[in-house]
Structure 1
């Protein structure tokens, strides 16, 4: 075994890691493209923003809320058996959606049903890839770097996907973006499912005990404290991020600089990427549980400061500072979830964290929509940070209470 310190180069030199990581990124690029492509395609064919919003809500709800159930299938049957049919079903529905939105006049009811069906089948590529990392990288320090690299790459894909759609619609209909997304997810998922790194991640062995594994279903959350803490904190982080998107729009429009929204959100992504890389490179002495509270609390504090910005350029800088803590918090939550469960529950654990984040983002956006216009923006920024600050405080107290006490006598 090499005695060199853990590094990002060491992560990529891990046997079979490049092929698995590359395949997962190819499939996940689809997730960066399909939301905008489908939104534009539905709006073009129906001529209605409200219908487009409803279709996307159905797609997002099914995709996010059922992620733990799909991950449970991965844990139960193994990615090599479960992923291909999920990807095949998902890509097939996307192709039908692309065909349905290619010309004007599609039925909103039909599009909604198809979007719901697509969301039901979305392959959980992120949780599966993190399970693969856990299998390939037994060293916890190297695994932290692997998770950080994964989070940064995913952040860049979520930024690059809409940019690719923006370029594509200059030359073709948005429905073409939906069709391309189908091809990407099918190709990437099949490549991941059949790469050598996945060979050792098998199905749960059959037998009487297979159907009664402790922590099955929702009881996984109720029985595993570390996972529950990770999920609750990511829900709070999601609330912050979802509210921030809308608050940034309101802030820039209030100052008649609406076009600056893209720069503010780009600063958030850039800060997150830098923070993620630094987090993976620094040797931390703090436990994952403690770091999660620190990063989440720092994110909330930075958002409160961002709400006090006197101008858009200052807001850009403050949001970039807030972004420094996004990828580290997310990475640490995944690490905490991973170390809290057994090998047969890792995909589900990661899916619960991801579900909490995305559900929090949706709830945060909706909540901010109710507050903007009724309260000063600085107050809205502060209220959006309150849940994550409370969560960080509670987590810190519980961590303090968990410290071992020396018993004599």
Structure 2
């Protein structure tokens, strides 16, 4: 059995990341499985809408699917940290793939009751394997050079974001030449194939870490207490997610208010392009500022740009502001994952990454709903300023010296599965 030696690079580059032992295989398998995250949600909502003829049912089913996925993400990651990727990921992927196929069959039958679809969606949402956190845990276990690891995380963040662009395009092709339920079946094949390829990699032995090793924040009584670094990473990630969730809806409202709905796709494309450029540049720069400070400054920059975007005189000027905001997005997410990774022991990295994902996704969901309540009640410029407030406040608070911060008490994410 081969042993993977930790990789250090004298000149960290993106090429050096891909030359690391098993890195290309790890990236490829993880991204193949995560492509399901870009295809399954759209396939599900289209399948339910076509099968029931109801937008309300489709929206409710999608909300149930997304909510269970977000809330149970840390618990699924805890299973990986406890039992190892091979023993945890395969059952999760198999169960998830099976339920997606069942949903495909159920939605193809118009007589399926809405309650049955909701139960199936809730069950499916509880099982997606945490391929992103596991991939990053593998990279952290093999790339001990922090500069090289930052590049690896940046590359992973940018690639993951591109999946959410290519996934819907793939669903569009499937709907055109087959049907929406076929998208669910393809999603099942993607997640199962990607998971099996990932766990077959020799690098998977390093993802679980050392069992039973003490981690930072480990209390004397044996209870895991989230350290300040992890709390900071999750809090700022949630604030960044709130910015993203709000801006997507506010851009639509802004464009509609100026009778320029055609600007919306350009704005969303500009956001993704800006994020990709920002992520790649961020990973290539040899930073000397601590990760936590970088994270807060990036969130502050994102909030400032978002607040300024509301003052745009025209929707196409908004496109430029959104592109500028995108430059901060991928670097902020990458920094949150890096800070979480630095803040916990080797055997808890999967959970730490899952908490960051949970915070980001929860923030996005909450902000989308909140932005919908703001539109029409406040001037558009003020809507953007309010949407930017969580990122600005969180950044400022986390940049304050420790003695000047409000006491946080015991609130914070609780490690699951202990």
Number of the residue aligned with 2:21: 15
Tell me the TM-score normalised to structure 2 length: 0.91
Indicate yes or no: 2:374 matched with 1:379. Answer: no
Report if aligned partners of 2:299, 2:391 keep a CA contact under 8 Å in 1: yes
Q: Which has the higher helix share?
A: 1
Number of equivalenced pairs: 397
Match of 1:64 among 67, 70, 74: 70
In the alignment, structure 2 segments of 5+ residues that lack a partner are 1-6, 406-418
Number of the residue aligned with 1:263: 266
Indicate yes or no: 2:122 matched with 1:120. Answer: no
Deviation of 1:262 after TM superposition, in Å, equals 1.4
Number of the residue aligned with 1:407: none
Q: 3-state DSSP class of the match of 2:116? A: helix
Q: How does 1:173-322 map to 2 (within 5 A)?
A: 173-202=179-208, 205=211, 215=218, 222-322=225-325
- In the alignment, the residues of structure 1 paired with residue 206 and residue 298 of structure 2 have an alpha-carbon distance, to the nearest angstrom, of 34
Number of the residue aligned with 1:357: 360
- In the alignment, the residues of structure 1 paired with residue 167 and residue 8 of structure 2 have an alpha-carbon distance, to the nearest angstrom, of 37
Deviation of 1:169 after TM superposition, in Å, equals 1.0
In the alignment, structure 1 segments of 5+ residues that lack a partner are 403-409
- In the alignment, the residues of structure 1 paired with residue 9 and residue 81 of structure 2 have an alpha-carbon distance, to the nearest angstrom, of 33
Deviation of 1:106 after TM superposition, in Å, equals 2.3
Report if aligned partners of 2:42, 2:171 keep a CA contact under 8 Å in 1: yes
Change (3 A) 1:271 1:104: same
Change (3 A) 1:308 1:221: farther
- In the alignment, the residues of structure 2 paired with residue 171 and residue 28 of structure 1 have an alpha-carbon distance, to the nearest angstrom, of 23
Report if aligned partners of 1:239, 1:361 keep a CA contact under 8 Å in 2: yes
Deviation of 1:166 after TM superposition, in Å, equals 1.4
- In the alignment, the residues of structure 2 paired with residue 212 and residue 316 of structure 1 have an alpha-carbon distance, to the nearest angstrom, of 44
Change (3 A) 1:396 1:214: closer
Change (3 A) 1:215 1:377: farther
Q: How does 1:82-121 map to 2 (within 5 A)?
A: 82-121=88-127
Change (3 A) 1:379 1:156: same
Change (3 A) 1:203 1:92: farther
Change (3 A) 1:298 1:214: closer
- In the alignment, the residues of structure 2 paired with residue 202 and residue 222 of structure 1 have an alpha-carbon distance, to the nearest angstrom, of 19
Deviation of 1:158 after TM superposition, in Å, equals 0.8
- In the alignment, the residues of structure 2 paired with residue 19 and residue 223 of structure 1 have an alpha-carbon distance, to the nearest angstrom, of 32
Q: 3-state DSSP class of the match of 2:37? A: helix
Report if aligned partners of 1:221, 1:227 keep a CA contact under 8 Å in 2: no
CA RMSD of aligned residues (A): 2.1
Number of the residue aligned with 1:329: 332
After superposing on structure 2, the runs of 4+ consecutive aligned residues of structure 1 that deviate more than 2 Å are 1-4, 103-106, 199-205, 209-216, 219-223, 398-402
